Amino acid sequence: MNNPSKSNGDEAIIAKFPIPVYIVGLSEEYRGHELENQLRNVESVVHRFHAFDARQLGSEDLSELVDQNAARFLQHRDLTPGEIGCAISHREALREVARADHNWAVILEDDARLNPVWITLHSILEELDCTKPRIILLWAQSDYTVLRASSHVRIQSERENVTVSRTFTPPPSAAAYVVNRAAAQLASCRSGNRIETVADWPPKWAYDVEFFVAYPWLASPAPDAKSTLQPARSHFESHDQESRIKRLTRHLESALCIRYLRRPAAYPGFRQFWMHEVTRPIQLARARRWGKRLDGNGPWIV
């Protein structure tokens, strides 16, 4: 079986951009050549981080890598082999960052592409304390991203300006983000041997990290990129989709703390459970009903 914990980084490109950039992608289906060219143009230090492919593994090997009972509790369905491999890859990339001697590191999936406002990244990082566990999302799913209205910081460069805002809870997407060593170390020490959720911010550690988004997005998925995860994920979601009554029952059980009593080990403590199970859906519902957009396509502000 492949060793998911080993990073086979290519030789770094010596550059003026001091923040290391890790590109996560499958070796045999690598899609990051255009991204690497973009990064070379802005003189970035690039490391290719070979993702772990779990799609060809049998059920016995997969059972060593994933706790599907925990996944059903947290994700409300089983994880696909592709999701398992993706989560392992990001976990190992974070462990690589935790071991390295850098205040910040950029992690990009190989189908990400840089946007013109990428040039503001240095200015953004200069504004943020690197000693607290922090992650800055360079792209997120706007419809699920809720910002704190009081936390906006306007970052300006010679040609571009970006709003950096703290989010209420971790927004979905691990496609493009900047992580500091404190956050990577927290993720590393709390991540177990078996995967329990998708790569997008496991509850075991994400609710003890401050999440920010930089908008307009500094990166975004390539418009012609085909997801290696979505076909299998859609099949699982269509078969395991919760009914409206089941979902309402789950929310009620969360509000009454029944779900926490059923599986307290899924969270570091009660606060993280409450943030994930109660605060997160309430803030999203509130934003969709009474919030406003940063612009026509941007995140919600409450």
Question: What pLDDT score was predicted for residue 10?
Answer: 39
pLDDT for 123: 87
Q: Is residue 61 part of a domain?
A: yes
CATH number at residue 254: 3.90.550
The burial class, CB within 10 Å (0-12 / 13-18 / 19+), for 85 is buried
Residue 154 lies in a domain: yes
- Do 92 and 9 contact (CB within 8 A), yes or no? no
Look at residues 197, 165, 183, 170 and name the one whose alpha carbon lies nearest to residue 71.
197
Q: Is residue 183 part of a domain?
A: yes
Whether 215 is covered by a domain: the verdict is yes
Beta-strand runs (E) in the chain: 17-25, 44-50, 104-109, 112-114, 134-137, 146-147, 153-156, 161-166, 176-180, 210-215, 219-221, 292-293, 300-301
- Interaxial angle between packed helices 81-99 and 181-190, expressed in degrees from 0 to 180 and rounded to the nearest 10: 130
Cα 62 to Cα 50: distance, rounded to the nearest angstrom: 19
Q: How far apart are CA 110 and CA 204, in angstroms?
A: 26
The predicted structure's pLDDT at residue 153 = 79
pLDDT at res. 285: 95
Residue 7 inside a domain? The answer is no
Beta-strand pair 104-109/176-180: antiparallel
How many helices (H) and strands (E) in the chain?
11, 13
Tokens of 266: 């899924």
What per-residue confidence (pLDDT) applies to 152?
Answer: 79
* Domain count for the chain: 1
Domain around 112 = 17-301
Please report whether residue 10 resides in a domain. Answer: no
Q: How far apart are the C-alpha atoms of 70 and 61, rounded to whole Å?
A: 17
Mean pLDDT by 10 residues, the chain (302 residues): 45 53 94 95 89 91 95 93 96 96 95 94 89 96 91 74 92 96 97 94 97 95 74 57 85 96 96 97 94 87 90
Q: Which residues contact 262 (CB under 8 A, 6 or more apart)?
A: 73
Helix (H, G, I), strand (E, B) or coil at 237: helix
Is residue 1 situated within a structural domain? no
Rg (CA), the chain: 19
Distance CA 119, CA 44 (A): 11
Residues 6+ apart with CB under 8 A from 197: 70, 71, 74, 75, 79, 87, 203
pLDDT at 201: 97
Q: What is the pLDDT of residue 158?
A: 63
Query: Is 210 contained in some domain?
Result: yes
